[in-house]
Amino acid sequence: MARRIAAGAAYGGGSIGLLGVAAVGVVLAEVQLAKRNVGGGVAPLPPGADGLYGRTFAASEPGPGPLRLALLGDSTAAGQGVRRAGQTPGALLASGLAAVAERPVVLRNVALPGARSDDLERQVSLLLSAPTGPPDVCVIMIGANDVTHRMPATESVRLLAAAVRRLRTAGSEVVVGTCPDLGTIEPVYQPLRWMARRVSRQLAAAQTIVVVEQGGRTVSLGDLLGPEFAANPREMFGADNYHPSAEGYATAAMAVLPTVCAVLGVWPETDRLEPDRHEDMLPVAKAAAEAAREAGTEVTGARAPWALLKHRRRRRLTATEPPAPAPSDAEETEEDAARRT
């Protein structure tokens, strides 16, 4: 199914139906029930975390300039649900990257809460129009709102592929956190829970296929709303029972950080496959399906049509320092201000 979705996006196919007619009435009733239960609390607006991280490395002896990290996507990438800038995934990734690379990192986050894949074109244009040039690495987290707003999967992955292609053409490395498993949101009941899991995993697998084909890498974000969240919903979900808490964002950032470091060549591990960690070289469609089932799995392209399936060793993330103003382009643009409001 993931391959059909990806192929439909490439060749202009329409939406692929996933529900039988007999199930529509039941599922619609479950959707209405879920809407009354999800979002019962109030998620604070995402705090601004843009700026310079790893200031101690900037103050050391002269060396290469700061790395430029950008985040794109929806409320997950923006960090909605936490109150401190240091708890957002952007801040966690910037601090972790600075520590591993031993270089300062400038973070810019253009993600928009509520965004779907059709907003990626605007976000990419915003990044590429900056006077500092394209980022060294871009992290995209997108897909949940595509599922909940019933965007056709073929359109969703086509828009993601176009965004990745633009960033790669500009010279940026790209890491995509694929669609989280929406079937683990606590107030969602059967059969909607089963359908949400099926649709979100199929979208995640299709995202993996098109991203790898465009030269990017993916990390499965099933853990974002996956088994760990289902087992500890009070600790892993925020006040509205939908967006992650600070602990949830730290879990997601830990899964993405090794791949961000790897694409920049600063991760202290070899690319040798470790069979005892279930790493393998597989056809890209099979690798995408395997990654969708196991959170934290990285997929990167090898020789077409093959892809590497990796489970990189994670490192604990420490508390982040407050961001300092970026050394250049630090002033907030009107569009950035509008995004935060």
Active site includes 240? yes
For 68-82, 132-146, 191-205, 266-280, which range has the lowest pLDDT when averaged over its residues? 266-280
- In angstroms, the CA 95 to CA 70 distance is 13
Higher-confidence residue of 48 and 187: namely 48
How much is the pLDDT for 173?
Answer: 97
Note the pLDDT tens digit of each residue in 275-293. Answer: 767 788 888 888 888 888 8
Higher-confidence residue of 174 and 225: namely 174
How much is the pLDDT for 200?
Answer: 84
Rg of the chain's alpha carbons, rounded to an integer? 19
Active site includes 220? no
Higher-confidence residue of 284 and 173: namely 173
User: Choosing from 75, 117, 172, 200, which is the catalytic residue?
Assistant: 75
Q: Is residue 123 part of a domain?
A: yes
Q: Is residue 13 part of a domain?
A: no
User: Choosing from 74, 119, 136, 243, which is the catalytic residue?
Assistant: 243
- In angstroms, the CA 104 to CA 97 distance is 9
Task: Give the neighbor-by-neighbor strand order of the sheet with 217-219.
Answer: 51-53, 105-109, 67-73, 137-141, 173-177, 217-219, 298-301, 306-310, 280-283
Q: Is residue 20 part of a domain?
A: no
Is pLDDT at 329 greater than 50 in this prediction?
Answer: no
CATH label of the domain that carries residue 264: 3.40.50.1110
- Which residue segment(s) compose the domain that 178 sits in? 2-8+27-340
Mean pLDDT estimate for the chain: 78
For 33-47, 50-64, 260-274, which range has the lowest pLDDT when averaged over its residues? 33-47
Residue range 301-323: mean pLDDT, rounded: 72
Residue 198: in which H helix or E strand, if any? Answer: helix 192-213
Active site includes 15? no
Higher-confidence residue of 218 and 28: namely 218
Is pLDDT at 77 greater than 50 in this prediction?
Answer: yes
Is pLDDT at 234 greater than 90 in this prediction?
Answer: no
Q: Is residue 42 part of a domain?
A: yes
Please state the domain count of the chain.
1
Q: Is residue 251 part of a domain?
A: yes
How much is the pLDDT for 121?
Answer: 97
pTM of this structure: 0.82
Is pLDDT at 230 greater than 70 in this prediction?
Answer: no
Structure token pair of residue 217: 């890498």
pLDDT confidence bin for 212, thresholds 50/70/90: very high
Distances (CA, A) of 86 to 71, 94, 222: 15, 10, 23
Q: Is residue 246 part of a domain?
A: yes
Q: Is residue 61 part of a domain?
A: yes
How much is the pLDDT for 224?
Answer: 57
Three state DSSP letters for 200-267 = HHHHHHHHHHHHHHCCCEEECCHHHCCHHHHHCHHHHECCCCCCECHHHHHHHHHHHHHHHHHHCCCC
User: Choosing from 15, 118, 240, 311, which is the catalytic residue?
Assistant: 240
Q: Is residue 18 part of a domain?
A: no
Note the pLDDT tens digit of each residue in 79-131. Answer: 887 888 998 999 999 999 999 999 999 999 999 988 999 999 999 999 999 99
How much is the pLDDT for 34?
Answer: 54
